[in-house]
Amino acid sequence: MRSSILFSTILLLSLINQCLSIEYLDINQFIMMGKYHQFYAVNTTTGELIKNVDAGKQNYFFQSFLSGNPFTNSFLLLATDQNDQQDVILEYSINDNTFTEINRINDSYSGLANAQMYAYDPVHNFVALPTVDMNEQNLTIYIWDFNTKQITYVSLPYAPMNGNTLYPVGSYDATTGNYYIIYNIDEPKLRLGTYLVVYNMWTRTIVKEPVYFYDFVMQVPQIVYTNDQIYFIDLCLVCNFKIYTADPPTQSTKNIYTVPAKFKQSNNFGSTFGVKGSSIVLFSSVTSEIYTTTVIDLATMQIHTSPSIAMTNTFQYEWISGGF
Protein backbone atom coordinates (compact mmCIF):
# COMPACT_ATOMS: atom_id res chain seq x y z
CA MET A 1 0.00 0.00 0.00
CA ARG A 2 2.76 2.43 1.01
CA SER A 3 4.78 1.62 -2.10
CA SER A 4 1.70 2.25 -4.25
CA ILE A 5 1.10 5.64 -2.59
CA LEU A 6 4.79 6.51 -2.94
CA PHE A 7 4.77 5.60 -6.62
CA SER A 8 1.62 7.67 -7.21
CA THR A 9 3.15 10.64 -5.39
CA ILE A 10 6.36 10.44 -7.42
CA LEU A 11 4.35 10.18 -10.65
CA LEU A 12 2.20 13.18 -9.68
CA LEU A 13 5.25 15.27 -8.79
CA SER A 14 6.88 14.30 -12.06
CA LEU A 15 3.82 15.37 -14.04
CA ILE A 16 3.55 18.65 -12.11
CA ASN A 17 7.24 19.35 -12.69
CA GLN A 18 6.87 18.61 -16.39
CA CYS A 19 3.88 20.94 -16.69
CA LEU A 20 5.69 23.72 -14.82
CA SER A 21 8.77 23.19 -16.96
CA ILE A 22 6.80 23.48 -20.20
CA GLU A 23 5.00 26.60 -18.99
CA TYR A 24 8.34 28.11 -18.07
CA LEU A 25 9.84 27.24 -21.43
CA ASP A 26 7.14 29.41 -23.00
CA ILE A 27 6.57 27.49 -26.23
CA ASN A 28 3.56 25.18 -26.24
CA GLN A 29 3.07 24.61 -29.93
CA PHE A 30 5.22 24.35 -33.01
CA ILE A 31 3.55 25.53 -36.21
CA MET A 32 4.32 25.09 -39.89
CA MET A 33 2.68 26.62 -42.95
CA GLY A 34 3.24 24.79 -46.20
CA LYS A 35 4.07 26.46 -49.49
CA TYR A 36 0.68 25.33 -50.77
CA HIS A 37 -1.19 26.56 -47.67
CA GLN A 38 -1.42 23.38 -45.61
CA PHE A 39 -1.20 24.34 -41.93
CA TYR A 40 0.22 22.09 -39.20
CA ALA A 41 0.43 22.57 -35.44
CA VAL A 42 2.21 20.23 -33.02
CA ASN A 43 1.68 20.18 -29.25
CA THR A 44 5.19 20.45 -27.79
CA THR A 45 4.16 18.75 -24.54
CA THR A 46 2.65 15.60 -26.05
CA GLY A 47 4.21 15.71 -29.51
CA GLU A 48 0.79 15.18 -31.08
CA LEU A 49 -0.23 16.74 -34.37
CA ILE A 50 -3.17 18.90 -33.23
CA LYS A 51 -3.88 20.70 -36.51
CA ASN A 52 -3.57 19.58 -40.11
CA VAL A 53 -5.85 21.76 -42.21
CA ASP A 54 -6.00 23.36 -45.63
CA ALA A 55 -5.71 27.11 -45.00
CA GLY A 56 -7.62 27.85 -48.19
CA LYS A 57 -6.81 28.91 -51.71
CA GLN A 58 -5.65 32.37 -50.74
CA ASN A 59 -3.43 33.98 -53.34
CA TYR A 60 -0.56 34.58 -50.91
CA PHE A 61 3.06 33.57 -51.09
CA PHE A 62 4.28 33.15 -47.51
CA GLN A 63 7.69 34.55 -46.59
CA SER A 64 8.22 34.38 -42.81
CA PHE A 65 6.66 33.79 -39.42
CA LEU A 66 6.89 37.07 -37.45
CA SER A 67 5.33 36.53 -34.00
CA GLY A 68 2.74 34.42 -32.20
CA ASN A 69 -0.02 35.18 -29.70
CA PRO A 70 -0.91 32.22 -27.43
CA PHE A 71 -3.88 34.09 -25.93
CA THR A 72 -5.69 34.48 -29.26
CA ASN A 73 -4.07 31.34 -30.75
CA SER A 74 -2.96 33.30 -33.77
CA PHE A 75 0.26 34.45 -35.40
CA LEU A 76 1.56 37.10 -37.76
CA LEU A 77 3.38 36.34 -40.99
CA LEU A 78 4.82 38.26 -43.90
CA ALA A 79 3.41 37.34 -47.28
CA THR A 80 3.10 38.58 -50.84
CA ASP A 81 -0.38 39.29 -52.21
CA GLN A 82 0.12 37.85 -55.67
CA ASN A 83 -2.95 39.60 -57.06
CA ASP A 84 -1.50 43.08 -56.43
CA GLN A 85 2.18 42.13 -56.09
CA GLN A 86 2.33 43.87 -52.74
CA ASP A 87 3.71 42.51 -49.46
CA VAL A 88 1.40 42.30 -46.48
CA ILE A 89 1.43 41.38 -42.81
CA LEU A 90 -1.29 38.82 -42.15
CA GLU A 91 -2.74 37.47 -38.94
CA TYR A 92 -3.71 33.81 -39.15
CA SER A 93 -6.31 32.58 -36.66
CA ILE A 94 -5.64 28.93 -35.89
CA ASN A 95 -9.09 28.46 -34.33
CA ASP A 96 -11.00 30.02 -37.25
CA ASN A 97 -8.61 29.06 -40.06
CA THR A 98 -8.80 32.61 -41.43
CA PHE A 99 -6.39 35.34 -42.55
CA THR A 100 -6.78 39.01 -41.64
CA GLU A 101 -4.68 41.69 -43.28
CA ILE A 102 -2.88 43.86 -40.70
CA ASN A 103 -0.68 46.03 -42.90
CA ARG A 104 0.34 46.47 -46.52
CA ILE A 105 3.24 47.94 -48.45
CA ASN A 106 3.32 49.33 -52.02
CA ASP A 107 5.98 46.93 -53.20
CA SER A 108 6.96 43.27 -53.10
CA TYR A 109 10.22 41.45 -52.46
CA SER A 110 11.30 38.91 -55.04
CA GLY A 111 14.95 38.38 -54.11
CA LEU A 112 16.76 35.59 -52.31
CA ALA A 113 15.78 34.54 -48.80
CA ASN A 114 17.19 31.69 -46.76
CA ALA A 115 14.76 30.04 -44.34
CA GLN A 116 14.73 32.08 -41.14
CA MET A 117 12.57 34.22 -38.87
CA TYR A 118 12.75 37.72 -40.34
CA ALA A 119 13.44 40.67 -38.03
CA TYR A 120 10.15 42.19 -36.87
CA ASP A 121 9.85 45.44 -34.94
CA PRO A 122 6.19 46.29 -34.23
CA VAL A 123 7.15 49.51 -32.41
CA HIS A 124 9.20 50.94 -35.27
CA ASN A 125 6.90 49.23 -37.78
CA PHE A 126 9.34 47.37 -40.00
CA VAL A 127 10.42 43.91 -41.12
CA ALA A 128 13.98 43.17 -42.24
CA LEU A 129 15.95 40.38 -43.89
CA PRO A 130 19.69 39.83 -44.52
CA THR A 131 20.39 38.54 -48.01
CA VAL A 132 22.72 38.82 -51.00
CA ASP A 133 22.64 41.61 -53.58
CA MET A 134 23.01 39.53 -56.73
CA ASN A 135 24.36 42.47 -58.77
CA GLU A 136 27.15 43.53 -56.42
CA GLN A 137 27.38 40.31 -54.33
CA ASN A 138 27.31 42.39 -51.13
CA LEU A 139 25.72 41.49 -47.84
CA THR A 140 22.46 43.43 -48.01
CA ILE A 141 19.64 44.10 -45.54
CA TYR A 142 16.21 44.58 -47.08
CA ILE A 143 13.73 46.60 -45.01
CA TRP A 144 9.94 46.59 -45.29
CA ASP A 145 9.08 50.04 -43.91
CA PHE A 146 5.36 50.02 -43.13
CA ASN A 147 5.48 53.72 -42.22
CA THR A 148 6.57 54.84 -45.68
CA LYS A 149 4.98 51.81 -47.39
CA GLN A 150 8.23 51.12 -49.24
CA ILE A 151 10.93 48.46 -49.37
CA THR A 152 14.42 49.89 -48.99
CA TYR A 153 17.81 48.27 -48.57
CA VAL A 154 21.22 48.82 -47.01
CA SER A 155 24.26 47.40 -48.80
CA LEU A 156 27.07 46.54 -46.39
CA PRO A 157 30.73 46.53 -47.51
CA TYR A 158 31.18 42.77 -47.26
CA ALA A 159 31.66 40.85 -50.49
CA PRO A 160 31.69 38.68 -52.49
CA MET A 161 29.05 36.60 -50.73
CA ASN A 162 29.09 32.84 -51.07
CA GLY A 163 25.94 31.93 -52.98
CA ASN A 164 26.50 28.20 -52.53
CA THR A 165 25.59 28.20 -48.83
CA LEU A 166 22.42 28.87 -46.84
CA TYR A 167 23.89 32.03 -45.33
CA PRO A 168 23.17 34.86 -44.47
CA VAL A 169 20.71 34.56 -41.58
CA GLY A 170 20.05 36.89 -38.67
CA SER A 171 18.63 37.33 -35.18
CA TYR A 172 17.03 40.63 -34.20
CA ASP A 173 17.01 42.18 -30.73
CA ALA A 174 13.94 44.44 -30.63
CA THR A 175 15.05 45.98 -27.31
CA THR A 176 18.19 47.55 -28.82
CA GLY A 177 17.63 47.49 -32.57
CA ASN A 178 20.72 45.33 -33.06
CA TYR A 179 20.62 42.78 -35.88
CA TYR A 180 23.07 39.88 -35.44
CA ILE A 181 23.91 38.50 -38.87
CA ILE A 182 26.10 35.59 -39.93
CA TYR A 183 27.37 35.16 -43.47
CA ASN A 184 30.00 33.54 -45.71
CA ILE A 185 32.51 35.19 -48.02
CA ASP A 186 33.50 33.49 -51.26
CA GLU A 187 37.25 33.98 -50.97
CA PRO A 188 39.49 31.23 -52.45
CA LYS A 189 42.48 32.29 -50.33
CA LEU A 190 40.59 31.69 -47.07
CA ARG A 191 39.29 28.54 -45.47
CA LEU A 192 35.51 28.65 -45.42
CA GLY A 193 34.26 30.04 -42.13
CA THR A 194 31.45 32.05 -40.56
CA TYR A 195 31.43 35.82 -40.15
CA LEU A 196 29.33 37.65 -37.55
CA VAL A 197 28.44 41.33 -37.91
CA VAL A 198 26.11 43.45 -35.76
CA TYR A 199 24.10 46.19 -37.45
CA ASN A 200 21.75 48.59 -35.66
CA MET A 201 18.45 48.98 -37.47
CA TRP A 202 17.49 52.17 -35.62
CA THR A 203 20.65 54.17 -36.24
CA ARG A 204 21.52 52.39 -39.51
CA THR A 205 25.11 51.88 -38.42
CA ILE A 206 27.47 48.95 -37.99
CA VAL A 207 27.95 48.60 -34.24
CA LYS A 208 30.32 45.63 -34.34
CA GLU A 209 32.66 44.95 -37.23
CA PRO A 210 32.78 41.39 -38.56
CA VAL A 211 34.22 38.65 -36.37
CA TYR A 212 35.54 35.59 -38.21
CA PHE A 213 34.95 32.09 -36.83
CA TYR A 214 37.72 30.25 -38.63
CA ASP A 215 36.88 26.90 -40.22
CA PHE A 216 33.39 26.88 -38.67
CA VAL A 217 30.59 26.36 -41.18
CA MET A 218 27.03 25.16 -40.67
CA GLN A 219 25.09 23.30 -43.34
CA VAL A 220 21.71 24.83 -42.43
CA PRO A 221 22.58 27.83 -40.25
CA GLN A 222 20.46 29.72 -37.74
CA ILE A 223 21.47 32.28 -35.13
CA VAL A 224 19.78 33.31 -31.87
CA TYR A 225 20.76 36.25 -29.70
CA THR A 226 19.31 36.24 -26.18
CA ASN A 227 20.46 37.36 -22.73
CA ASP A 228 23.77 38.76 -24.05
CA GLN A 229 24.72 35.41 -25.57
CA ILE A 230 24.97 34.38 -29.21
CA TYR A 231 23.98 30.87 -30.27
CA PHE A 232 24.65 29.21 -33.60
CA ILE A 233 22.28 26.40 -34.57
CA ASP A 234 22.94 23.96 -37.41
CA LEU A 235 19.66 22.42 -38.59
CA CYS A 236 21.08 19.72 -40.84
CA LEU A 237 18.02 17.55 -41.55
CA VAL A 238 19.99 14.36 -42.13
CA CYS A 239 22.91 14.74 -39.72
CA ASN A 240 21.54 15.98 -36.35
CA PHE A 241 20.72 19.46 -35.05
CA LYS A 242 23.61 21.04 -33.18
CA ILE A 243 23.51 24.07 -30.88
CA TYR A 244 26.67 26.07 -30.22
CA THR A 245 27.53 29.00 -28.02
CA ALA A 246 29.58 31.60 -29.88
CA ASP A 247 32.23 33.72 -28.19
CA PRO A 248 33.24 36.66 -30.44
CA PRO A 249 36.25 37.83 -28.33
CA THR A 250 37.96 34.44 -28.76
CA GLN A 251 36.37 33.72 -32.15
CA SER A 252 35.39 30.29 -30.86
CA THR A 253 32.32 28.07 -30.63
CA LYS A 254 31.27 25.26 -28.31
CA ASN A 255 28.73 22.53 -29.01
CA ILE A 256 26.36 22.52 -26.01
CA TYR A 257 23.53 20.28 -27.21
CA THR A 258 22.67 17.89 -30.03
CA VAL A 259 19.22 16.76 -31.18
CA PRO A 260 19.16 13.56 -33.26
CA ALA A 261 17.71 14.21 -36.72
CA LYS A 262 17.46 12.11 -39.84
CA PHE A 263 14.45 13.12 -41.89
CA LYS A 264 13.10 10.65 -44.40
CA GLN A 265 11.17 13.47 -46.09
CA SER A 266 14.01 15.99 -45.75
CA ASN A 267 13.22 17.67 -49.08
CA ASN A 268 9.75 18.54 -47.76
CA PHE A 269 11.01 20.77 -44.97
CA GLY A 270 12.27 24.30 -45.47
CA SER A 271 12.26 25.22 -41.77
CA THR A 272 12.05 23.12 -38.60
CA PHE A 273 12.73 25.83 -36.05
CA GLY A 274 11.02 28.45 -33.92
CA VAL A 275 12.15 30.99 -31.34
CA LYS A 276 10.35 33.01 -28.68
CA GLY A 277 12.38 35.05 -26.21
CA SER A 278 15.10 32.82 -24.81
CA SER A 279 13.30 29.61 -25.83
CA ILE A 280 13.64 27.70 -29.08
CA VAL A 281 11.70 24.75 -30.47
CA LEU A 282 13.14 22.18 -32.85
CA PHE A 283 11.06 19.74 -34.90
CA SER A 284 13.05 16.60 -35.64
CA SER A 285 12.75 13.08 -36.98
CA VAL A 286 15.02 10.16 -36.20
CA THR A 287 13.40 7.18 -37.90
CA SER A 288 10.98 7.15 -40.80
CA GLU A 289 7.77 9.03 -39.88
CA ILE A 290 8.53 9.36 -36.15
CA TYR A 291 8.65 13.02 -35.11
CA THR A 292 9.67 14.82 -31.93
CA THR A 293 9.68 18.41 -30.68
CA THR A 294 12.41 19.69 -28.39
CA VAL A 295 11.92 22.93 -26.45
CA ILE A 296 15.05 24.50 -24.94
CA ASP A 297 15.35 27.58 -22.77
CA LEU A 298 18.81 28.76 -23.79
CA ALA A 299 19.13 30.99 -20.72
CA THR A 300 18.68 28.13 -18.24
CA MET A 301 19.24 25.08 -20.50
CA GLN A 302 15.95 23.61 -19.32
CA ILE A 303 14.99 21.07 -21.97
CA HIS A 304 11.76 19.25 -22.74
CA THR A 305 11.62 16.59 -25.43
CA SER A 306 8.14 15.44 -26.37
CA PRO A 307 7.28 11.76 -26.79
CA SER A 308 8.08 10.47 -30.27
CA ILE A 309 4.88 10.38 -32.31
CA ALA A 310 4.20 8.46 -35.51
CA MET A 311 2.72 10.79 -38.13
CA THR A 312 1.54 8.82 -41.11
CA ASN A 313 0.60 11.83 -43.26
CA THR A 314 3.03 13.07 -45.89
CA PHE A 315 3.95 16.67 -45.22
CA GLN A 316 3.64 19.16 -48.04
CA TYR A 317 6.63 21.31 -48.81
CA GLU A 318 6.79 23.02 -45.43
CA TRP A 319 7.77 26.63 -46.01
CA ILE A 320 7.77 28.59 -42.76
CA SER A 321 7.71 27.61 -39.09
CA GLY A 322 7.53 29.13 -35.63
CA GLY A 323 6.81 28.48 -31.98
CA PHE A 324 4.71 30.18 -29.33
CATH number of the domain where residue 27 is located: 2.120.10.30
Percent of the chain residues past pLDDT 90, beyond the cut: 74
- Give the pLDDT confidence score for residue 252 in this predicted structure: 98
Q: How many domains are there within the chain? A: 1
Task: Give percent helix, percent strand, percent coil of the chain, each to the nearest 5.
Answer: 10, 50, 40
pLDDT at 151: 98
The answer to whether the CB of 161 falls within 8 A of the CB of 185 is: yes
Q: What residues make up the domain containing 68?
A: 2-323
Q: State the Cα–Cα distance between residues 76 and 89, nearest whole angstrom.
A: 7
Distance in angstroms (rounded) separating the CA atoms of residues 176 and 59? 35
Confidence of residue 13 (pLDDT cuts 50, 70, 90): very low
Cβ contacts of 183 within 8 Å, gap of 6 or more: 130, 139, 158, 161, 162, 167, 168, 194, 195, 197
For 244-262, the pLDDT digits (tens) are: 999 999 999 999 999 999 8
Q: What is the pLDDT of residue 268?
A: 83
Q: What is the mean pLDDT of residues 150-162?
A: 93
The 10s digit of each residue's pLDDT in 248-307 is 999 999 999 999 998 877 778 888 999 999 999 999 998 767 999 999 999 999 999 999
